[in-house]
Chain A
């Protein structure tokens, strides 16, 4: 199989370039990450992140043939050759396919991704009805792989001010949680023209999410909460 991979080592290369690779591999039943690890065995200067190999950790998010996805759960046989691998778009490249996601994590931290509850801690746990728990389905599954935010043009233009789909999905995850008491503070934070309202419902986030989540829907629900609170 033929590969074209983005290479850039800031210590030795003046500019990034694409390098072609050949790999003898039977594609059936194998994932893209298997091929990348074999390529890395061939050329150990190739830098790439990976960990769990089964779409749970979110480390190996890449731009695969122009589309963000996780290498470990992308079947090799589905890809058109030459397979073009690039780092996630719109974020600084550290080396080859490894990117710096500081800005992404910064935005995640900004939405306070934890329960805020001033009530005295119960002896065992804070209980939820099954329906209340069901509200969190489609939200809590996010693995923060950054596929969605780095596919979002609004995040490309304003990564410092727009929270991005991943952080907004998590913002709604805590707004929707029956145990959270900071709804008003959270909505205050999101009412800004940049933080949430840079979203123009382009829906790239929904298109690329490897976990099949829908940040655009969550953003729509936050807007409804804001409208209900104000009107």
Chain B
């Protein structure tokens, strides 16, 4: 029997990232939901004023980056489970990473679309 004690050591890190980002995203989502319910009816002016605040932009950016990291671990998990052929799995890994990077850049563009 061949037994490699080494192995890749990022299992714990990725698992932890997924848990931590989940907690942050839950907090952000509850905060936003609370705000929307508290401000009913929510007009454009109020929404815009909220997202003009730098802290809201940064919090939202953190939310999107967290979402991307969370989604990366989740998508990778699905690929590890269901795509046994290494070459195809690598292809989908790269595809997922590129898509998530594009989404992140897109999120930055939207958040800072009317200047800093």
A residues with CB within 8 A of B: 106, 109-110, 153-154, 157-158, 185, 188-198, 200, 223, 226-227, 230
Are A158's CB and B12's CB within 8 A? no
Return A149 CB to nearest CB of chain B, in Å: 15
Return A163 CB to nearest CB of chain B, in Å: 11
Return B57 CB to nearest CB of chain A, in Å: 30
Binds A, one of B43-51, B59-67, B75-83, B94-102: B75-83
B residues with CB within 8 A of A: 1, 3, 5-16, 77, 80-82, 84
Nearest B residue (CB) for A226: B12
Q: A106-B1, A110-B1, A223-B12 are in contact. List 9 more A-B contacts (CB 8 A).
A: A191-B9, A192-B7, A192-B8, A193-B11, A194-B80, A197-B12, A197-B15, A198-B81, A200-B77
Nearest B residue (CB) for A200: B77
Task: Name, among B10, B81, B84, the residue most crowded by chain A CB atoms within 10 Å (CB to CB).
Answer: B81
Known: A158-B80, A158-B81. A189 touches B12 (CB 8 A): no
Return A34 CB to nearest CB of chain B, in Å: 38
B residues less than 8 Å from A190 (CB atoms): 11
Cα(A189)–Cα(B13), bound, Å: 14
Cα(A227)–Cα(B19), bound, Å: 12
B residues less than 8 Å from A196 (CB atoms): 11
Known: A109-B1, A185-B5. A194 touches B81 (CB 8 A): no
B residues less than 8 Å from A191 (CB atoms): 7, 9, 11-12
A residues less than 8 Å from B7 (CB atoms): 188-189, 191-192, 194-195
Cα(A106)–Cα(B10), bound, Å: 23
A residues less than 8 Å from B81 (CB atoms): 153-154, 157-158, 198
Please name 12 pairs of A and B residues whose Cβ atoms are closer than 8 Å in the assembled complex, sorted by A: A188-B7, A189-B5, A191-B9, A192-B7, A193-B8, A193-B14, A197-B12, A198-B80, A200-B77, A223-B12, A223-B15, A227-B12
